[in-house]
Structure formats: structure tokens, C-alpha cells
Chains A and B, each alone.
Chain A
Amino acid sequence: MKDEERISQPEKQLAELLKRSLPPVDRELNRDLWPQMLRRLEEHPRQPNWLAALLSPAAMASVPWFDWALLAALVVGVCLFSRSIPIWLYHF
């Protein structure tokens, strides 16, 4: 058995003890879980896709810190030099 090659003697002894001591579990699923899943889906309706994508922690975390710094600089610039906004708009 390949496991005998990969595990050490103490591990093998302990594995035997664990197997003898713990009751085996039934790995077969005996009923359909879809009704429970459906209930869950109904309890928590999905947010609109764009909003969920925009506000998800994964999306936030994926933005590099440098982009956040640029955004902050832009906001500060707009606040400090608000009179220049029409000039920028004219040029772009």
C-alpha cells in the first residue's frame, strides 16, 4: 500500500489507533439537500451583480494601494482647485 511508504512508524501506529477508536462515518448522502438550498436562496436574495461586485471585499482587496493613493490625490486636488474643473472638462 502506498501509504505505508509515505508515513512513518509512529504515524502508522497512531493512524491504527485512530481508526480503531473512532466510529466509521457513512459517506453516502441519503437525501436531496436542494429544498434546504432553495430556502437559503429565498432567505437571502442576491444583490444586483454590479453592486455586489463593486462592494465585495474581494473586489476591494484586489485594488492595489497605489490606485487608492491616486484616487485620494485626485479627490484632494479637486477639493483644493475646484475652479480648475471647467478648464479640465473643456480640454477633455
Chain B
Amino acid sequence: MERISPPPELFEQFAAGDLDAFESLFHQFQGEVYAWIVRMVRDPAAAEELTVETFWRIYRAHARFDASRSFGAWARRIATNVALDYLKRARIEETPLEDDPPASAQRGAGTPDPAVRREVRDRVRLALQQLPAKLRVVATLALIEDYPHAEIANSLNLSTAAVKSRVFRAVQLLRKKLGNLE
């Protein structure tokens, strides 16, 4: 869906601390910021709170905003930091996964078993949650959401090589945790 781009003076007014300009930008970008955050945290309720937190940080940092640059990209970077902070806080205690999957998971391949599938889902979710936040974010964006590495790099303020390296490390850790589930 194409969004109508706000007039340039709106960004200047926002940078000068105008609350009405901030409200206009909030209404124009809240959906985009929410969509970006929910991809990373995968929890709609948390994503709503984090969207508000993102705009709160945006509002406080209005004086540092360069009106000649993209507001959307700036907002996305702030949203990424907010999501990373949340994931660091929310990261569940490291609970070791069993080295071998339970016997029920080793039944013949191709036999659809809802219980096993649920078990597999739980193991995958747990393995992802146990990743360090910065690896979890890149793994989610690159592997699940299919974002190009360059775009992830831009949003995380990293080089593409750093993103590739994080994806590689995340894959290694996930494969180690998931064993022969793949």
C-alpha cells in the first residue's frame, strides 16, 4: 500500500518541537512502525506498547532529527533499538533442551502426528527465544521474514557483512539446539 508522503515542512516543524506535527507523523507512521516491530517481537500486544515507546523516544529526540533525511528510516532504527531492548529483557531463562528429541519425535517420517508437530513447534520457538536478542532479531528478519541482508543492515545500523555473520551464528546456534529436527 502506498502512503502519501508528508509535506517536507511537517518534518521541520516536528524537529522544532511542534506537537501537532508530531501527531501528524504519529498517525502516518504508527502502522509502519508497528508492522516492523511485530515482525521482530512476534507479539501484537507487546508490539503496540513498543510502538508507543518508539514514538516516545522519537518525540524526545526531535531536536536531533535531520529534516533532510528519511523520517521512516530514522523511526525504524529507533524501533529496532526498542525491540532489541525488549527482547533482551524478555529473554527467557536458559532452559537446556534435551540433546536428543524425545522418542515420540523419532517415529517414522511422514506420519502426521499433531502431538509431535506441537512438540517440534515448541522446541523451535524455545530455541529462537533462547538466542541472544541481537542474533534473534537478525534471524527473524532474515530467515522468517525474508528481508534482504542490506535492508536489515540499514535498520540495525550495521554493515551487511556483520548481518551475514550474525545470521550465520544464529543458524549455528539454532542447529545445535534443534539437533535432528530439521
How far does the alpha carbon of A79 sit from the alpha carbon of B42 in the complex, in Å? 59
Tell me which residues from 11 to 44 in chain A have a Cβ below 8 Å from any Cβ of chain B: 11, 13-15, 17-19, 21-22, 25-29, 31-34, 36-37, 40-41, 44
Complex interface: chain A residues within 8 A of B17 (CB): 46, 49
Contact residues in A for B121 (Cβ distance below 8 Å): 21-22
- Find chain A residues with CB under 8 A from B51 CB: 29, 33
B98 → chain A, closest Cβ, in Å?
A: 17
Which residues of chain B have C-beta atoms less than 8 A from A17's C-beta? 124, 178, 181-182
Count class of interface residues, chain B: 35 or more
Q: A25-B39, A33-B30 are in contact. Are A18 and B142 (CB under 8 A)?
A: no
A61 within 8 Å of B by Cβ?
no
A2 at the interface (CB under 8 A from B): yes
A67 interface residue per 8 A CB criterion? no
Majority SS at the chain B contact face? helix
B120 on the A face (CB < 8 A): yes
Count class of interface residues, chain A: 20 to 34
B124–A18 CB distance below 8 A? yes
Q: How far is the CA of A25 from the CA of B44 in the complex (A)?
A: 8
Residue A71 at the chain B interface, CB threshold 8 Å: no
Q: In chain B, residues 1-59, which have Cβ atoms closer than 8 Å to a Cβ of chain A?
A: 17, 19, 23, 26-27, 30-31, 34-35, 38-39, 42-44, 48, 51-52, 55-56, 59
The smallest beta-carbon distance between A24 and chain B, in angstroms, is: 9
Question: Which residues of chain A have C-beta atoms less than 8 A from B56's C-beta?
Answer: 37, 40-41, 44
Q: A11-B171, A21-B121, A34-B27 are in contact. Are A6 and B182 (CB under 8 A)?
A: no
29 A-B residue pairs with Cβ-Cβ distance under 8 Å, sorted by A, are A3-B146, A6-B148, A11-B171, A13-B182, A14-B182, A15-B143, A15-B144, A17-B124, A18-B124, A21-B125, A22-B42, A25-B39, A25-B42, A25-B44, A27-B39, A28-B31, A29-B34, A29-B51, A33-B26, A33-B51, A34-B30, A36-B48, A36-B52, A40-B52, A40-B56, A41-B56, A46-B17, A46-B60, A49-B63
Known: A15-B144, A34-B23. 17 other contacts (CB 8 A): A7-B167, A14-B171, A15-B146, A17-B124, A21-B120, A22-B144, A25-B43, A26-B44, A27-B38, A29-B34, A29-B35, A31-B48, A32-B27, A33-B30, A36-B52, A49-B63, A53-B63
